[in-house]
Structure 1
Amino acid sequence: MFSKKIYCIALVFFAFLLKAQNAPIQISFSKNEIKNYEAVLNQEKSFEKDTVALKNFLKPLYQNKNYSVFYEALLANGYSNFYNAVNKKSDFHYQQSIKKAVLLKEQSIEIWTQLNYVSYLYYYRDFIKMTPLLLKVIDKIEKLPAEKIILPAESFKKIGWIMQTLGDYKEAAYYLDLAQKNAPKKSIEYASITNAIGANYLHTSDLKKAEYYFLQTAKLSQEIQNKVRYAKALGDLALVKQKQGDFKSAISLVKKDISISKAEKSYQNTMYASILLAELYLDDNDFTKADQALKEAENIVYSKTYFEKSELQIIQLKLRILQHQNKADEELILRRRMLVLEDSLKNKDGDMAINKVNWMIQKEKFQQNINRTNEQYKNEISIKNVYAVIIILALSLLIFLIFNFKKHLKNRQIEYSEKVFSLKTEKIKNEQKLSEANENLDAHAAHLKEKNNQIKSLRSEINQIKNSSHSDSEKENLNILLESHLMTEENWKIFKKEFQKVHPEFHRLLEEDFPELTDSNKRILLLQKLNFNNTEISELLGITPDAVKKSKQRLKKKLGDKFNILFEHISSKIS
């Protein structure tokens, strides 16, 4: 009874696990779209040969217009796992994902879909077909900041790996460095990138740095409990020891690599490690063990069509063994197979293919440099044209301003001429009035009052144009006109004659009792007698009001007590 209960519980638990494994993919809806895409892609898993389960798993993506592009891409990856080779179904869905990405007009998705297809072609060693698309990805990804790239660490790592395989170690180092900067420190991704950086240094014969990065990979792999990555790091450390001539240490490391890889069922890594072990045994002149290691590798090589390059390596190593054993017949058979492989690889995974790819890359880079130079030249021409237009507009504006200024100046000149003419006319009229009123002091005084108003008007005009654009000669003309309004010697004589007629007693008083008075004093006193104030006197005499005040103060000091007597007469109505 109890065993039945246990069985039922186990059955329910198994069913729950099975349901959880077959649960459809989840779509996130946060504000950060890049993170949403990454959340979907991080749920990708292998369904081996069960494509129906794969489609059910991806169904939510198919039903969402914005995510159907990922449905096509992940379905293509699933068919790749199913066929374990380049196949038409995968090719079709990869192309569909790229087309949909272009329609979405999102650069980040477009880059990811193209790089996903590049990874597929790289995995199955179709370098010639891969390269044009890879170059497009590189051109686009360089223009985007990391935060706008989907899975930036993985994307940069893939490009770094590919460039390393193609022998462009400088470019590989650049992208692997970017990958490392964008990967979480304690992660499988970081360990993988660190290992790739070590491999890059190994290819450039910097053994010290290569060993450092492989040791860092091994340490991190143990910390995160990734046994396969740890095994690969041991194999890479064996390569360093091989180059250093320490075959014993290298063999020991590779054996550990193979042991872990077999236990973890990492057949591809087991194959690579077995080939390396055979090579190390040959370097150490142990041909029997080398042959045994190659047989281990052969079992895996013949299971996959895309391992042709590894098969070629095995044949080359076996030929070394046969040459030592003097087995000419077997050697001939292997050489025939080697020619077939070399012919097959020349356009895929061989040295000829890699050289052709490198030529394509260099050609594309050269073309990109030409395009950049042309673009720069066009930009410079555009900038020069803009500057030319600005200069022309500036010159046109300057000419307009000069023309407008001259027109304004001409109008001001006309206004000025009319004003001067009007003032001169007024002066002539006043002079005529003065001539007609010679025998009448009251008329003369009224004329002086009017003249005083004209002097004020002239002074106001002069002040207005002091800082204006009028010429000095125009200002001088106004000053001359102003001076002509002031009391001249001739006007003074006429005024004095009329004054004597009206105020004979006052005039006699000045001449007899105040002989010390100057002609200037008399002019001020006579005008004051006619009730002109200090300002009006100053305007007529062409001096300042302060000068009039100071003249009176000096006169008071000179006359003493007589000053008060004098001003009593001025204030009185005595003529």
Structure 2
Amino acid sequence: MGPLLKQVLPLALSRFFGLIIFLFFFIPDSYALTDILPINNFNTHPFDTIGHITPEQRVYIATDIYKRNLRHVPETVAMARLNELTNIARQLDDKALESVVFDLKADYYAVNLRFNPHSVNLYKQAIDFATENKLPLYAAIYLQHEGMFFYNLKHNTTACYYFLKAQEAFRAVGFEKAPNMSAYFSQVAEFYYHLGDYPNAEIQLQNALKYPIKHARDRIGMINTLGLIRRSGKQYRQALEYFQRVLDLAKTSKDTVWVGIATGNIGSIYFNLGEYDKAAPFIQTDYEQSLKYGEKNNATIALLRLVKINLLKNNVTRCLKQLDTAELLIKNSATSVLNIKTDIYDLKAQCYDKLGQPAAALVFRRKYELTKDSLAVQNNIAAVEVVKMQYVVGKQQAEDNRLKAQARERDGVFVILFLLIVILLLLFSRQALKARNDKELLQSEKRRLDEELKYTDMKLQTYTEHIRKNNKLIDRFREQIDQLKNKNADSSVVEHLEKLMQAHIMTDANWQEFKKIFVKVYPDYLFNVKKNFMSLSETDVRLLTLIKLQCTNKEMANMLGITAEGIKKAKQRLRKKMKLNNNISIEEAISIL
């Protein structure tokens, strides 16, 4: 149903996670204290009452006082008041309260300076202080805060590292003992969701739902995001169940905003299933509610769905008016709308095609191709970010396993030493035997891997040879078709031959199968291509793969179902995207990858 269905980041996500960050970013817990403590002028001493508060609540109340009084005051005033809090904590011998001062100072610089070395250093001090003073829960919370610090500033790889460390620390304490554990899981879910790592996002949300949730809206938002994840995986019936739960909860809570969001999401499912008559009223409601609450991007997405429905009904004039409205809605958008523009241009081209205006259709088709290429670059950058994050995850897990192994080894060292004395001679003889066996095993494994690689390489050669034979068959089809056309043969016969020829051209399914074999022989090639030439589309990568196999222009043309002249032009465009010098050929550029 077109690219529109793949790119919706709905109203629900921004509202839900915006609320989560507002309530929980940089604080261990949140208490509604505005009715307990008056707002102070920053020239007074706002923490004077802390000594009269029970130890269990000091950290939370001090955090609330800081947020309401000191977060946006001049630096000298804020630091002086927080230093006073340190002195109070030392007088009370309250290590938890003393540790939170580092966290609050880090928050102050993060809020006022964005990315800065002060916050990084202060978070480290907070974590170290909590660890040294046996406050594991606070150490976990400060690790989580540092993860949010890096995530909010788009340092995703570093954020991933701290989120992993935080969850390991929470696990050691016991998730059930951590206040607001649901919120911490939700924050990490947001992180994974925005990187497109939906499986990990779902795991985090399912974990979040196991723990107490303070606000009904938070629960609704989590369930809604689970529906979005199912929708992204085209599991529409399961997604519909989640969205229906959201609608029921929203109606029970009399939350009109979430009623509107859930209605729109239900409409999107019916739309994806092709049940347009069911979808239309839901989508119309979504459009109207989005406009009402100023969510122009979401309104535009809903409107484009209505355009598609009208286009199927041949209401072309109405479609064009709606598309003009869509362009006005996103005209001054502060967020990236490349995906929406791509759909608008595509739909306008379809409209003008239906109206019999090929020149106008061509203009918008060209705009569509340009924005589609830009969107591909944007998606490639995001994909690289996910790869980097996955590397960090794997590296951290390996490091954790290594440290656990070392800990187990230390615990058993005395027992092992005793046993070694008793069985030293026996071990020596067995070790020699084991070394021989290991050597034979390694040689056997090497032979197996060599044979496997040899077989895969042979399979790739066979597959490539099959494609080349297929090309010859396509050439014969073309010759017969040309001959029949010259003889004015029956058009149905020509059409039948053309269909047979198309059946031998490489399809997307054939390409995926071919790519699996290719990657086994050249495991790093496709990764290096995307890393070194990030602006390339999937079509460009396919062409580079065939060039790697030294296929001729004619062979590539047959395989891709275009002319040899089309291949030459595609190579010229490819050179520009790869930014190659005139004295370097494409073959030379990829030979080192």
Deviation at 1:233, TM superposition (A): 1.8
Distance in 1, matches of 2:239 and 2:146, equals 31
Give the alignment partner of residue 60 of structure 2, picking from 25, 37, 43: 37
The answer to whether 1:107 aligns with 2:103 is no
Q: Which residue of 2 aligns with 1:91?
A: 115
Q: Which residue of 2 aligns with 1:359?
A: 387
Pick closer, same or farther for the CA change 1:335–1:204 going to 2, 3 Å.
Answer: closer
Alpha carbons 2:287, 2:303 under 8 Å: kept = no
Correspondence list, 1:213-252, <5 A: 213-252=242-281
Q: Amino acid of the residue matched to residue 246 of structure 1?
A: E
- Structure 1 residues 190-229: Cα deviation after superposition (integer angstroms, max 9, x where no partner): 1111111222222233322211221221222233343333
Task: Give the TM-score normalised by the residue count of structure 2.
Answer: 0.49
Pick closer, same or farther for the CA change 1:180–1:293 going to 2, 3 Å.
Answer: farther
Alpha carbons 1:201, 1:210 under 8 Å: kept = yes
Pick closer, same or farther for the CA change 1:151–1:184 going to 2, 3 Å.
Answer: closer
Correspondence list, 1:325-474, <5 A: 325=352, 326=358, 327=360, 328-329=362-363, 331-332=365-366, 335-336=369-370, 339=373, 341-342=374-375, 346=377, 350-375=378-403, 377-379=405-407, 381-382=409-410, 385-391=413-419
Deviation at 1:375, TM superposition (A): 3.8
Alpha carbons 2:307, 2:319 under 8 Å: kept = yes
Distance in 2, matches of 1:55 and 1:223, equals 49
Deviation at 1:40, TM superposition (A): 4.1
The answer to whether 1:311 aligns with 2:338 is yes
Q: Amino acid of the residue matched to residue 387 of structure 2?
A: W
Alpha carbons 1:166, 1:357 under 8 Å: kept = yes
Alpha carbons 1:62, 1:71 under 8 Å: kept = no
Deviation at 1:55, TM superposition (A): 11
Pick closer, same or farther for the CA change 1:102–1:246 going to 2, 3 Å.
Answer: same
- Structure 1 residues 92-126: Cα deviation after superposition (integer angstroms, max 9, x where no partner): 375466345335434133223223324524xxxx4
Give the alignment partner of residue 178 of structure 1, picking from 207, 211, 214: 207
Distance in 1, matches of 2:281 and 2:75, equals 42
Distance in 2, matches of 1:51 and 1:291, equals 48
Correspondence list, 1:500-519, <5 A: none
- Structure 1 residues 440-480: Cα deviation after superposition (integer angstroms, max 9, x where no partner): xxxxxxxxxxxxxxxxxxxxxxxxxxxxxxxxxxxxxxxxx
- Structure 1 residues 530-562: Cα deviation after superposition (integer angstroms, max 9, x where no partner): xxxxxxxxxxxxxxxxxxxxxxxxxxxxxxxxx
Pick closer, same or farther for the CA change 1:61–1:289 going to 2, 3 Å.
Answer: farther
Distance in 2, matches of 1:223 and 1:207, equals 24
Alpha carbons 2:300, 2:329 under 8 Å: kept = no
For the residue of structure 1 that corresponds to 2:85, the secondary structure is: coil
Q: Which residue of 1 aligns with 2:547?
A: none
Alpha carbons 1:202, 1:240 under 8 Å: kept = yes
Pick closer, same or farther for the CA change 1:244–1:338 going to 2, 3 Å.
Answer: closer
- Structure 1 residues 43-66: Cα deviation after superposition (integer angstroms, max 9, x where no partner): 96999xx95699999997685344
Q: Which residue of 2 aligns with 1:207?
A: 236
Q: Amino acid of the residue matched to residue 117 of structure 1?
A: F
For the residue of structure 2 that corresponds to 1:324, the secondary structure is: helix
Q: Amino acid of the residue matched to residue 389 of structure 2?
A: I
Deviation at 1:324, TM superposition (A): 3.5
Q: Which residue of 1 aligns with 2:223?
A: 194
Q: Which residue of 2 aligns with 1:541?
A: none
Deviation at 1:342, TM superposition (A): 3.8
Give the alignment partner of residue 349 of structure 2, picking from 318, 322, 326: 322
Q: Amino acid of the residue matched to residue 346 of structure 2?
A: L
- Structure 1 residues 7-47: Cα deviation after superposition (integer angstroms, max 9, x where no partner): xxxxxxxxxx9x988888999744436x9439946996999
Deviation at 1:354, TM superposition (A): 2.7
Distance in 2, matches of 1:110 and 1:222, equals 37
Alpha carbons 1:218, 1:229 under 8 Å: kept = yes
Q: Amino acid of the residue matched to residue 281 of structure 1?
A: V
Give me the identity figure in percent: 14
Pick closer, same or farther for the CA change 1:39–1:114 going to 2, 3 Å.
Answer: same
Pick closer, same or farther for the CA change 1:41–1:394 going to 2, 3 Å.
Answer: farther
Distance in 1, matches of 2:247 and 2:101, equals 39
Aligned-residue Cα RMSD (Å) equals 4.4
Distance in 2, matches of 1:168 and 1:332, equals 32
Distance in 2, matches of 1:77 and 1:243, equals 42
- Structure 1 residues 498-517: Cα deviation after superposition (integer angstroms, max 9, x where no partner): xxxxxxxxxxxxxxxxxxxx
Q: Which residue of 1 aligns with 2:32?
A: none
For the residue of structure 1 that corresponds to 2:234, the secondary structure is: coil
Pick closer, same or farther for the CA change 1:22–1:362 going to 2, 3 Å.
Answer: same
Q: Which residue of 1 aligns with 2:157?
A: 131
Alpha carbons 2:267, 2:282 under 8 Å: kept = yes
Q: Amino acid of the residue matched to residue 179 of structure 1?
A: A
Pick closer, same or farther for the CA change 1:366–1:96 going to 2, 3 Å.
Answer: closer
Deviation at 1:262, TM superposition (A): 3.2
Deviation at 1:238, TM superposition (A): 1.9
Alpha carbons 1:163, 1:172 under 8 Å: kept = yes
Q: Amino acid of the residue matched to residue 398 of structure 2?
A: I
Q: Which residue of 2 aligns with 1:117?
A: 149
Distance in 1, matches of 2:222 and 2:125, equals 30
Q: Which residue of 2 aligns with 1:160?
A: 189
Deviation at 1:176, TM superposition (A): 0.3
Q: Which residue of 1 aligns with 2:167?
A: 141
Pick closer, same or farther for the CA change 1:257–1:100 going to 2, 3 Å.
Answer: farther
Pick closer, same or farther for the CA change 1:180–1:292 going to 2, 3 Å.
Answer: farther
Bigger RCO of structures 1 and 2 (CA < 8 A, at least 6 apart): 2
Pick closer, same or farther for the CA change 1:392–1:366 going to 2, 3 Å.
Answer: closer
Alpha carbons 1:153, 1:181 under 8 Å: kept = yes
Structure 1 stretches lacking a partner, 5+ long: 1-16, 80-88, 396-575
Pick closer, same or farther for the CA change 1:378–1:91 going to 2, 3 Å.
Answer: closer
- Structure 1 residues 374-414: Cα deviation after superposition (integer angstroms, max 9, x where no partner): 3455456546643233447899xxxxxxxxxxxxxxxxxxx
Distance in 2, matches of 1:96 and 1:369, equals 25
Deviation at 1:140, TM superposition (A): 2.5
For the residue of structure 2 that corresponds to 1:355, the secondary structure is: helix
Distance in 1, matches of 2:253 and 2:69, equals 22
- Structure 1 residues 292-327: Cα deviation after superposition (integer angstroms, max 9, x where no partner): 55555545645454x12x233223332331353242
Q: Which residue of 1 aligns with 2:495?
A: none
Distance in 2, matches of 1:104 and 1:30, equals 22
